[in-house]
Each structure stands twice: as C-alpha cells, then as structure tokens.
Structure 1
Amino acid sequence: MYGEVVRTEQLTPQLVRVVLGGPGLDGFAAPVTADAYVNCSFLPAAAAYDVPFDDAQVRELPRDQRPFPRRITVRGWDAERGELTLDIAAHGDVGYAGRWALHAEPGDRLQFRGPADGYLPDPDADGYLFVGDESALPAIAVCAEWAPAGKPVTVVVEVEDAAGEVELTSPGDLAVHWVHRADRAHTDEALADLLADTVAALPRPDGVVSAFVHGEAAETRAVRRVLLRERIVDLDHLSCSPYWRRGLDDEQWRAIKGDWVREVNAETF
C-alpha cells in the first residue's frame, strides 16, 4: 500500500505533518487502537526504483539499495476524503523518516504496510498518564483524544523549548506538562532523568492508572522505574517502549534494541 503526498505542514521545528492520499490508499483499514502505526519504507539515495515496488524483490538487493523500515504513528485517517495523516519527528537531515518528511512535496509517494495496532487506553482505568518526547508526541496526542470523557488525563512531553509545543485535546480532564530540554544541560546524564523527575514530582494519582511511556531509551527506562518502584502504575497497565537512543543513529539502535528491551523488562521492583 502507498500514499501520495497531498500537503505538508511544519507543526514545530521538530515535527512535520504529512498528509497522504490517492488510489494507493484504497482498502486502508481504520485503526482500532490509539497507538496504531504503519511500517513505512524510506528509499535510500542509491535506490534505482520508485514507489510502488515489490517487497520481495527489493529484499534481494544490496543493503545500500534496500528501503529503510520505520514505524510511524497514524495521527489520523479521514475515510471520507481518503487521507492519511502522519506526524513525523524531524531533527534536520538526520534519520531517514525525518529527512524525507522535511523534503516531501505534493506527488511524492510513500510505501508502507499496515496499519498495525498498539496501545489502547483502558476504558476501565481511573486515570491516564502519557509520557514521551517529540518522537512519541503524535501517539500521545492520539491517546489523549481516545481517553474516556471526564476521567483525569495527565500528559508529560519533553521538547526543546516552547516552540516545540502543540495544542493537545481530550474528552478527559486534561493536564499537560511541557518539559524543555533547553532548561537542562545537554548531556546524557542531565537529560536521562528529565522526564522521570517531572513524573515523580506530580501529585500521586488515585486508583488504577493506564500509562503510555514511549520515546528515548534511557528516558523511558527512567520513567518506568519511577512508575513501578513507586507503585504508581501496575506493569499490566503500562505500555513502555523505546523508539530511539541518544548517541546512536537509527541502524545502530536497531542492532541493539532487542537486547536493551529484554534488559529493561527483566528489571523488577
């Protein structure tokens, strides 16, 4: 399946909205969970082919000619217009997905598989906690919109500065806490606990909390430790996943992500 770029919008210095349309989206299935995503294929500079392409054939090509797969959150699907909205984190010309989004123009094509389903706010929970950085902001925005009406929804998002903030909405009782990296020294040690310190300082919620914690590896791990150690969230009600790791490029992170996740999941408190 593939879509053609209809329009783009620079939402923040680090977030680009890309709206896809066209006949290549025929048959797209509406997501049934908040954290739904599509497995996108971003073409390398050496690619001698274009979208649409045959997945089996390109897998036989040398590594430098094969597409680079990236999971991108489904920010929205307008079935009536046949338009798929993807909000993609971009940090200059770093990373295949972000670089593509920054330079995407109407008529450009993007091939993908999906959508696949992910986290869904537990409708029986007493409250919700959504935590992450720009890479998780699109998913957090959807989670907030899917939360039940009237229940407390707490969002903690790390961005560079105020320019990285976007408007978030929810049918729930929404409280948003923006955390600015610019207020903290840009060292691995200083940033690793930025989100965790903010979460730990929040008033302790009542009842069962359904939590979604995604983003940078060290930061999500630190938040996970706070939530489980302080018994704020039960493991059964926690979705925690690292999208990237500071200091590593996409391919370096993909090579070690499995071991990292297993190590984190083995931690008990």
Structure 2
Amino acid sequence: MTSMLTSVTLEPSWDEEAIAAWLHFPGCSRVDYTVRRYDAERGILELDLTPGPESTIMNKWLDSVEIGSRTRLAQPDVGYMPNFADGRRVLIFADESSISAVRAILAQWPAGVPGTMWLDTPDPRHIADLPVVAGVGVVSFHVDMGFDPLVTAARRVELDSSATVWAAGETRRMDEIRATCLAAGLPESDTRVFGYWADNAGQRRS
C-alpha cells in the first residue's frame, strides 16, 4: 500500500526506522506489516500488509480501505496501551474486532489500577475468555440495542481528570468517542482512541 502523510502528520525528521517503531495496530502482530519505504520530502509511505486470518482489526481495515481513505496516526509519544502511569481509573470502549487487543491489555494490567470496560460483541464467548482482573469491571453488549452502546456509555460516564480512556474499533464510532473525550477536557495523552476500519456496508449497530 502507498500512502501520503498530511502536512499535519508529516515530520521531516522521520525515516523508515522511526515510522516502523511508531506505527502500530492494537492487537496486531508487527509481523503483519512492514515499512518498505518513506519519502521524507514528499511524505509518501509504502507499507507491505500481510495479516494472518486471526488479525481481525487489520483485516477489517483492509476490507474497508479505498483509494483516498484517510487514517489517523497517533502522536509518537502517546503510546498504544492505556495510560497506566499514575494509577487513575482506566475506561475502555471496544468492539468485537478489538477483543484480542483488550485481552493483551488485561494480561498486562497493573495491580491496584481500577477500571471499567464496555465491550460490544455479538458473541458472549469473547467476554468469557477474557482474563479476570481485580478491580476491573466489564459491561458487555451482545444484542442490537437500537443505539450505539459504546458511544452512549462514553457520553454518560464521568470523564474528568480522575480518568483516562482507551478505545478501539470502527472508525466512525471511535471518532465520536474521541470527540466526547476531548469535549470533556481530557488531554490527548488520556484519549487513546484508535479507529482502524470503516463499516462502509453499514453493518455496525446504530
């Protein structure tokens, strides 16, 4: 895949090695993608994408991407795990494509850090298979609610300086969650929201 970085994203000092270190798809192995070339002068990036069948997020994204599609890159210093730095409440919003990422996060969850997860997946087994972490609650949705349960949860939960947010899933609903967090005053470092695939077929819940 060949992509062009916008002037907002472009950093003249970047090279292939720097981009390879920063570029990450939550829940995906780094063997699924390789940075082949980066033209710093023109901001053109070439990637080889070879996901396995278990790489749900990347496969969904590849199915949805079209010529002219735009993908948001996080700031290099933001990171791709929740902000566990000072032990605040961690709020997680994720759809079924991000369950593997959620599982990896739970496996590395620091002791004593409280949190709540809102997970939207039609298969209850996805939830049953997750690691159990003391102090972390899970709210799951398995049927059509008639509204977007993740966006609604983000709008109703208290978002203040005592909380930090991590979210991953379908692009449009993640855009809404990101906007909700920023409107509540959360800084970028506490708004780690990743939208990697677009539901062009309109199959996501309304």
For the superposition of Structure 1 and Structure 2, which TM-score range results when normalised by the shorter chain?
A: 0.5 to 0.7
Pick from 137, 144, 154 the counterpart of residue 199 of structure 1: 154
SS of the residue corresponding to residue 140 of structure 1 reads helix
In structure 2, what is the equivalent of residue 245 of structure 1? 198
8 Å CA contact retained: 1:132, 1:158: yes
Q: State the alpha-carbon separation in 2 of the partners of residues 148 and 172 from structure 1.
A: 10
TM-superposition CA deviations, 1:54-92 (whole Å, max 9, x none):
x98xxxxxxxxxx971568xxxxxxxxxxxxx95439xx
The 1:97/1:227 distance shift into structure 2, 3 A limit, reads closer
Identical-pair percentage: 17
8 Å CA contact retained: 2:93, 2:167: yes
Kindly state the Cα deviation for residue 212 of structure 1 after the two structures are TM-superposed.
Answer: 1.4
Asked whether 1:89 is paired with 2:44, we answer no
The 1:139/1:39 distance shift into structure 2, 3 A limit, reads same
Q: State the alpha-carbon separation in 1 of the partners of residues 29 and 54 from structure 2.
A: 11
In structure 2, what is the equivalent of residue 69 of structure 1? 49
Asked whether 1:228 is paired with 2:195, we answer no
The runs of 5 or more residues in structure 1 that have no matched partner are: 1-33, 42-54, 57-66, 73-85, 99-116, 249-269
8 Å CA contact retained: 2:61, 2:197: no
Kindly state the Cα deviation for residue 246 of structure 1 after the two structures are TM-superposed.
Answer: 0.3
8 Å CA contact retained: 1:38, 1:71: no
Q: State the alpha-carbon separation in 2 of the partners of residues 95 and 218 from structure 1.
A: 14
Q: State the alpha-carbon separation in 2 of the partners of residues 68 and 164 from structure 1.
A: 30
8 Å CA contact retained: 1:36, 1:119: no
Query: Relative CO higher for 1 or 2, CA cutoff 8 Å, sep ≥ 6?
Result: 2
SS of the residue corresponding to residue 111 of structure 2 reads coil
Which structure features the higher share of strand residues?
A: 1
Kindly state the Cα deviation for residue 150 of structure 1 after the two structures are TM-superposed.
Answer: 1.6
In structure 1, what is the equivalent of residue 144 of structure 2? 183
Kindly state the Cα deviation for residue 217 of structure 1 after the two structures are TM-superposed.
Answer: 0.4
The 1:169/1:206 distance shift into structure 2, 3 A limit, reads farther
Q: Choose 1 or 2 for highest CA Rg.
A: 1
8 Å CA contact retained: 1:157, 1:179: yes
Aligned residues: 150
SS of the residue corresponding to residue 215 of structure 1 reads strand
Kindly state the Cα deviation for residue 230 of structure 1 after the two structures are TM-superposed.
Answer: 2.5
Kindly state the Cα deviation for residue 236 of structure 1 after the two structures are TM-superposed.
Answer: 1.8
The 1:135/1:154 distance shift into structure 2, 3 A limit, reads same
TM-superposition CA deviations, 1:14-68 (whole Å, max 9, x none):
xxxxxxxxxxxxxxxxxxxx86732426xxxxxxxxxxxxx98xxxxxxxxxx97
Pick from 171, 174, 179 the counterpart of residue 217 of structure 1: 171
In structure 1, what is the equivalent of residue 21 of structure 2? none
Normalised by the length of structure 1, the TM-score is 0.45
**Which runs of structure 2 are paired with 1:95-174 in the superposition (5 Å)?**
118-119=80-81, 121-169=83-131, 171-174=133-136
Q: State the alpha-carbon separation in 2 of the partners of residues 228 and 179 from structure 1.
A: 25
